[in-house]
């Protein structure tokens, strides 16, 4: 398909022209999005509405197992999957169930297919969240962390559309507090912000269950910490992108986990610093990294440095030069400028 045709197709899905052009630069993503759109058109006809188009883009950009593309497109095109939370659940389901056939009954249950969240339910959930925080809202007004309200409402209504929840929060907060005043536009003092974030963390922990907390309820540092901990659990190697799965994979992984407990060959983990120029490295940077690793809950078996191996690397370099397999370039940087070595 010509680039112009693809650009027109992608913008018809609801992508901005800039986003569509960026997508075209990624050949793999472009091909998968075109295929998804083509399959959806077979169900919907030539026109794909923006909401469906955005979901198709989310599917194409996040799906790793292309075998599942047709399966998931059919659910999106038929509106059985019509919200971002459902799409995220569907992607996680196919990632966790790599073998055929997919149990469609279990899939639909886990992805909220057929679950209808009414505007009235969203209104009630948001109202309940606001009532829990009404005193603090009245004091802090628009300085209050509104993400906390959205997170609590979403915890109650897992399959609700996030935009609908946000719109309802905005409307009810406006009704409660009225329009923003000049004081609401001023930046908060850091002390007050720290106190609010602590309250948010405590409340979010109380409200959420099973460790499922919406990003809006977490402080930035907690969100970063969550990203750092998104490793697959022992026995879930198949969730790694590119992992080869055979009909025997799941049973073999299960047996391996039962025998080893997730550790093989007395496996250990090193923390290695890339101090390729030790003279310019300061101890405070190493200390800060060690502190962060400890804060994340990890204890490395041993801390090593790239410079530990410099003597060995130097000896190997000398030996390679002696054998005529390497050389030393004496040109200065100024002499190399403007030359393309490729």
Instruction: Decide if 216 contacts 224 (C-beta within 8 A).
Output: no
Closest CA to 136 of 90, 177, 103: 177
Residues 133 and 105 in one domain: no
Residues 211 and 133 in one domain: yes
Residues 94 and 124 in one domain: no
CATH number at residue 82: 1.10.8.1290
- Kindly report the average pLDDT of the chain as a whole number: 82
Number of independent structural domains in the chain: 4
At residue 257, the pLDDT reads: 76
Residues 75 and 28 in one domain: yes
Residues 249 and 193 in one domain: no
Indicate the burial class of 230 (C-beta count within 10 angstroms; 0-12, 13-18, 19 or more): exposed
At residue 221, the pLDDT reads: 46
Indicate the burial class of 168 (C-beta count within 10 angstroms; 0-12, 13-18, 19 or more): buried
Residues 9 and 42 in one domain: yes
At residue 18, the pLDDT reads: 92
At residue 226, the pLDDT reads: 53
Out of 179, 205, 228, a domain closes at 228
Residues 258 and 272 in one domain: no
Distances (CA, A) of 70 to 67, 73, 121, 222, 230: 7, 5, 32, 36, 27
Domain that holds residue 310: 268-342
Out of 82, 110, 138, a domain closes at 110
Residues 242 and 288 in one domain: no
pLDDT < 70 positions in the chain: 1-4, 188-244, 262-265, 278-279, 281, 338-342
**What pTM was computed for the model?**
0.57
At residue 284, the pLDDT reads: 79
Residues 151 and 127 in one domain: yes
């Amino acid at each position: 398909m010509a680039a112009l045709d693809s650009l027109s197709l992608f913008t018809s899905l609801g992508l901005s022209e800039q986003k569509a052009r960026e997508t075209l630069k990624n050949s793999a993503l472009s091909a998968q999005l075109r295929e998804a759109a083509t399959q959806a058109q077979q169900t919907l006809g030539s026109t794909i509405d923006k909401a469906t188009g955005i979901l198709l883009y989310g599917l194409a950009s996040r799906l790793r197992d292309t075998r599942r593309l047709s399966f998931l497109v059919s659910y999106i095109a038929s509106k059985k999957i019509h919200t971002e939370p459902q799409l995220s659940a569907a992607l996680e389901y196919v990632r966790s169930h790599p073998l055929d056939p997919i149990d469609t009954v279990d899939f639909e249950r886990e992805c909220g297919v057929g679950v209808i969240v009414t505007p009235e339910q969203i209104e009630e959930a948001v109202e309940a969240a606001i009532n829990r925080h009404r005193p603090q809202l009245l004091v802090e007004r628009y300085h209050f962390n509104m993400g906390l309200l959205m997170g609590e409402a979403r915890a109650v209504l897992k399959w609700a559309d996030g935009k609908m929840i946000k719109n309802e929060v905005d409307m009810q907060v406006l009704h409660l507090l009225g329009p923003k005043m000049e004081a609401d536009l001023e930046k908060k003092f850091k002390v007050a912000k720290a106190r609010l974030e602590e309250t948010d963390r405590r409340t979010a922990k109380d409200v959420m269950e099973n460790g499922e907390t919406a990003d809006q309820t977490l402080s930035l540092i907690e969100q970063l910490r969550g990203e750092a901990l998104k490793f697959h659990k022992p026995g879930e190697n198949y969730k790694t992108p590119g992992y080869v799965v055979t009909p025997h994979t799941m049973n073999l992984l299960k047996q391996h986990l039962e025998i080893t407990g997730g550790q093989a060959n007395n496996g250990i983990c090193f923390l290695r610093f890339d101090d390729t120029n030790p003279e310019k490295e300061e101890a405070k940077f190493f200390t800060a990294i060690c502190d962060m690793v400890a804060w994340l809950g990890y204890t490395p078996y041993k801390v090593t440095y790239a410079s530990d191996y410099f003597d060995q690397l130097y000896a190997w370099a000398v030996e390679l030069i002696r054998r005529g397999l390497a050389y030393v370039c004496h040109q200065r940087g100024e002499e190399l400028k403007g030359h393309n070595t490729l």
